[in-house]
Chain A
Amino acid sequence: MSDFPFLSVLTVAPLVGAVVVALLPRSRPTLAKQVAFGWSLLVLVLSVVMWLTWQVGGDRFQFRESYPWIPNWGVNFTFAADGIALVMLMLIAVLVPLVILASWHDAESSKRSVPVYFALLLVLECTMIGVFAAADVFLFYVFFEVMLVPMYFLIGSYGGHQRQYAAVKFFLYSLVGGLFMLAAMIGLWVLGGKTFDWVALSQVDISTGAERWLFLGFFVAFAIKAPFFPFHTWLPDAGGAAPAGAAALLVGVLDKVGTFGIIRYCLPLFPDAAQWFAPWALAIAVIGIIYAALLAVGQNDLKRLVSYTSIAHFGFIGVGIFAFTTQAGTGAVLYMVNHGLATGLLFLVVGMLVARRGSALVSDFGGAGKLVPVLAGVLFFAGLASLALPGTAPFVSEFLVLIGTFTVNKPVAVIATLGIILAAAYVLWMVQRTTQGTLNPALTEIDGMKRDLNLREKVVVAPLIALIVLLGFYPKPVTDVINPAVQATMEDVGRTDPAPSIDSVQEAGR
């Protein structure tokens, strides 16, 4: 079974599904939804089989496939997954069916074709899987750029207020980053002996100056994608305007491409430059944590608020990556997964709330918990997960990042910890103003607010809640997969974990 071409099949399957869904007649929207949902479940089943086939403790890269594409330039369709890519692929496979289910009625309000909406979601899944599964820099770039197109139309055609502006801003920001990466990629290709193969390129020696420029080219693209401060301004607009399902995928998965790219490409391909730039990267990551958290506190728009919390969380991931310890690195990757689950859940729940109220403004709510108690409870849970309460999955990753950073860089760890306090502020205050307190009389007049979660919505949130709790108590299955990959990356960079010194052990013993 391990010879089965999992990665290429996983990449192509959603695309086939998208074509099928797009060809369904506009007059049968329900059929389109069912087909799309079924198809994404198939992808999930296939991914689970792949997960089970993965050999823990085996090779760093597994499921490798390679087919020639453009022989003149040494471009191949090379797919391979390491532990980091594997967990991200699982995250995609889990999130997409839930998002499709959660978006069941999202496309109907926009007067646009319903089948096309679900086809776009499946195209997005194809490109997202491709970008994580690619082991050829050229192929990675292709998916990285093409990914913009379905997302652009999801935001622009099906989004809410200011969708045009948000869609164009999203596209241009990402494209600018992508073009920097294109220049760096061509440079890498020329200096690396005209190959795009990741394994070959990671063994090439590049002169210090060129390495720094190439690192910057890739890093800017990924920092925009992630997004890190100060490249983050597109995300609140895009997240605020996108339909809730698309927004959940945007921050849950799409943005992880940035941090994934840093781990997979920036660090191993340009190890010396990565170390040289690390203080700067840490600085913008820490600024991002504090700055975005402060802005989140002040937001009155629920979706924008969640977007800002994500930027703060990406700061944590950035700190974890550039601390260069195995603990922090593992924490960062685990954070990517957990953040996808927690923020994905938060976005979906907020979407359900917004769909009922017809407004995303915090000030339009108040005491909603009295009308929709279950929904308010789920929102509270998602908020707690998002602020990394112990017992939820994000706690494990945030803790790993902080202790991994503390061993090598105390000031950064201390400042980052302040972000946790701010997180409590923005989450709890948001929950208080929307669902707690006295009931806003305007809410009682809206029919939608009288309906609590229906079965479909419960099915959407239940698996996410279960996973968040499960991974909060027992993250071992995921960390077992991640750890070797992170260790290998740290070896590529040439950093080893600081050995615990005798003094500190003795001190601890007293």
Chain B
Amino acid sequence: MNELELPPIDYAALAPILIMMGAAVVGVLVEAFVPRRLRHPVQLPLALLAVLAALTMVVLNADKRMITIGVIAIDGPTLFLQGAILVLSAVALLLVGERAIERGGAFVAQAAITADSPDDRRQAANSPGAGEVYPLVTFAVGGMLIFVSANDLLTMFIALEVFSLPLYLLCALARRRRLLSQEAAMKYFLLGAYASAFFLFGLALIYGFTGGLADRAAGVDFATIHAAVADSTQSPVLLFAGMALVAIGLLFKAAAAPFHVWTPDVYQGAPTPVTGFMAACTKVAAFGALLRVFHVAFEGARWDFTPVLGSVAVLTMLIGAVLAVTQTDIKRLLAYSSIANAGYLLVGVLAPGREGLSGTMFYLVAYGFAVLAAFAVVTLVRDADGEATHLSRWAGLGRRSPVYASVFTFILLAFAGIPLTSGFISKFAVFGPALEGGQVWLVIAGVLTSMVLAFPYLRVVVMMWLSEPGESTPTVTVPGALTSAALVIGVLATLVLGVAPGPLLELATNAADFVR
């Protein structure tokens, strides 16, 4: 019997993942051993430092193109997306760490207390928020880093679980409106579990498909799948079924229709910093995985999956845009907007070649910054009862606090795709390659839904600027340094990526090569 041979391990290439996971474990220990009042001052710098260290390692790895321990692909898209996740999660951590807006932050002290009981009201009023959000976020980020670099379906599945479980928990930790928050977490968890099951079942079918060939070993790594798709002479039923089920698992995370139903509830119920984190980072992770699966593993079946995924994209854009029109809650509105944006991103995924890939990656970064800034503003508009998210409460906000209303208007204009914002450039970045690849109908659907989607954004602008402030218009809380920093970063990035997108586009284009 041969001695078991260990695969070669490149620790430097894995360093970002290892750092984040290590920091999460340390975070758990801090939670266990450090006195309560010191936990927050220790946890936040720890998490931020870990993100910075991981980011440094990503930058140092910039020229690496390899597959290490057989299952982790370190290549251009991986590094670009890992960098994006880390930068965006750093901004999200600033929002998570904010303690100045509300006593104890946006998170509950003890999630187990019965909602709406006297105990609950007491803790909502004055106890410091739970510190475990930091290790949870750190774990989630670590999982996302694996997710975008996974080079076989099994690793991808494990990464999916690693970053999903902390997110389910984070959703339940809102300090106020606890029932909504718990409902959101429950929904997200149940539907997420189904999605994972779909993914797993699809994985099994794909394994069966690759195993049907006599001359090669079965496997679920992307090279094997790619080869099997390329020269298979057997019936493609297993392949199509497996591909569909895997896609469902991924599209669920990406919030694409018809797997989007959780999105508005979860976005509304989750603590707003967590919503921002999900909208920015989970999107990047989910689309990173979609890109890799469809550009590497199933590339040979492009003609088969394009009509199906294209229909999903059209449906997603349509549902997101049309339902956004009817929303009266700003968080739900942003949720539907995020669904519509998933549709635009899918257009980018379906655009063949390097341009499509780099355009999608650019879109992810640009959207992440804008959406984080949007949710940062949402955390600021509040009254005695917490955030005032109903749209009617935003009437006349422009008169009360012109600066934040201007910032939010700018972000909305970016979402609407007005030039000189990142939103316009990113739309161009996905529509251009899609049109070049002959997907005219997708581009037309994208343009038409953009028109519809402009209306809800404009309605908010009208609310803020053109309506007179009512009695119930809340004031905008002066943000703490952390939220201010997150807001400034988000807005500046949106502006800079709109005015001078050249460098990031260049970076994305250079990174747009998968290692196979």
Q: Tell whether A and B belong to one assembly.
A: yes
Q: A179-B451, A182-B447 are in contact. List 13 more A-B contacts (CB 8 A).
A: A70-B501, A72-B506, A73-B428, A145-B418, A145-B424, A156-B465, A167-B466, A172-B451, A179-B448, A183-B435, A186-B432, A186-B435, A190-B435
Whether B444 pairs with A183 at a CB distance below 8 angstroms is yes
Q: Cα distance A446–B448 when bound, in Å?
A: 50
B504–chain A nearest beta-carbon distance, Å: 10
Contact A186 B428 (CB under 8 A): yes
Tell me if A183 and B466 are in contact (CB < 8 A).
no
* B461-502 interface bits toward A, Cβ cutoff 8 Å, 1 = contact, 0 = none: 010011100000000000000000000000000000000111
| Contact across chains for A141 and B419 when beta carbons are under 8 A apart | yes
Question: Within 8 Å of chain A (Cβ to Cβ): is B420?
Answer: yes
Nearest residue, chain A, Cβ from B499: A69
**A284: CB under 8 A from chain B?**
no
Bound CA span A153–B417, Å: 18
Residues B462 and A156 in contact, CB atoms below 8 Å apart: yes
Closest to A175 in B: B454
Instruction: Please give, as numbers and ranges, the residues of chain B lying within 8 Å of A175 by CB-CB distance.
Output: 416, 451, 454
Q: Which of B413, B466, B467, B501 has the most C-beta atoms of chain A within 10 angstroms of its own C-beta?
A: B466
A132-147 interface bits toward B, Cβ cutoff 8 Å, 1 = contact, 0 = none = 0000000001100110
Q: Assess whether A406 is interfacial by the CB under 8 Å rule.
A: no
Chain B residues positioned under 8 Å from A24 (CB to CB): none
Contact of A157 among B443, B466, B502 (CB under 8 A): B466
Known: A69-B502, A146-B419. A187 touches B458 (CB 8 A): no
Report yes or no: A189 in contact with B418, Cβ–Cβ below 8 A: no
Flag B402-420 by CB within 8 Å of A: 1 or 0 each: 0000000000010011111
Judge whether B447 and A183 touch: CB under 8 Å.
yes
Tell me whether B419 and A142 are in contact (CB under 8 A): yes
Q: Which residues of A contact B467 (CB under 8 A)?
A: 164
Cα of A175 to Cα of B451 in the assembled complex, Å: 7
Q: How far is the CA of A73 from the CA of B430 in the complex (A)?
A: 12
Residues of B in contact with A, size category: 20 to 34
B residues less than 8 Å from A70 (CB atoms)? 425, 501-502, 505
Task: Report yes or no: A73 in contact with B443, Cβ–Cβ below 8 A.
Answer: no
Bound-complex Cα distance A172 to B418 (A): 12
From A141, A142, A164, A186, B466 is in contact (CB under 8 Å) with: A164
Q: Does A172 contact B458, Cβ atoms closer than 8 Å? A: yes
The answer to whether B466 and A163 touch across the interface, beta carbons within 8 angstroms, is yes
Within 8 A of A (CB), among B417-462: 417-420, 424-425, 427-428, 431-432, 435-436, 443-444, 447-448, 450-451, 454-455, 458-459, 462
Determine the residue in chain A with the shortest Cβ distance to B509. Answer: A72
Q: Are A145 and B419 in contact (CB under 8 A)?
A: yes
Which residues does chain B contribute within 8 Å of A69, judged by CB atoms?
500, 502
- Measured in the bound complex, the distance between the Cα atoms of B459 and A408 in whole Å is 48
Give every chain A residue within 8 A of B505 (Cβ-Cβ).
Answer: 70, 72-73
Chain A residue nearest to B446 (CB atoms) is: A183
Per a CB cutoff under 8 Å, which of B443, B451, B502 touches A176?
Answer: B451
Contact status of A149 and B462, CB under 8 A, knowing A72-B509, A183-B431, A190-B436 = no
8 Å CB contact of A180 from B419, B431, B447, B458: B447
The reply to whether B418 and A146 contact each other, CB–CB distance below 8 Å, is yes
Q: B455 to chain A: which residues have CB within 8 Å?
A: 172
B432/A189 in contact, CB under 8 A: yes
Q: List B residues 168-210 near A (Cβ within 8 Å).
A: none
Encode A3-39 as 1/0 by CB contact (under 8 A) with B: 0000000000000000000000000000000000000
Candidates A72, A153, A172; contact of B502 at CB < 8 Å: A72
The one of B417, B425, B466, B500 in contact with A156, judged by C-beta atoms closer than 8 angstroms, is B466
**From B449, which residue of chain A is reached at the shortest CB distance?**
A179
A168 close to chain B: CB less than 8 A:
yes
Q: Please name all residues of chain B whose beta carbon is closer than 8 Å to the beta carbon of A187 when the two chains form the complex.
A: 435
Interface membership of A71, Cβ < 8 A: yes
- 8 closest Cβ pairs, A-B complex: A142-B419, A183-B447, A164-B466, A72-B505, A190-B436, A156-B466, A179-B447, A145-B419
Shortest C-beta distance, A317 to chain B (Å), equals 26
* B459: chain A residues within 8 A (beta carbon): 168
Is A231 an interface residue when CB atoms closer than 8 A count as contact? no
Nearest A residue to B505, CB-CB: A72
Distance A473 CA – B37 CA, assembled complex (angstroms): 85
Are A186 and B458 also in contact (CB < 8 A) when A71-B502, A146-B420, A156-B466 are? no
CB neighbours of A176 from chain B (8 A)? 451
Distance between Cα atoms of A149 and B409 in the complex (Å): 11
Asked if A171 is at the interface (CB within 8 A of a chain B CB), the reply is yes
A190 proximity list for chain B (CB < 8 A):
432, 435-436
CB distance from A217 to the nearest CB of B (A): 9
**Closest residue to A156 on the B side, CB-wise?**
B466
- Specify which chain A residues have a CB less than 8 angstroms from the CB of B428 in the assembled complex: 73, 182, 186
Bound Cα distance A187, B443 (Å): 10
List A contacts of B432 (CB < 8 A): 73, 186, 189-190
Min Cβ gap B450→A in Å is 5
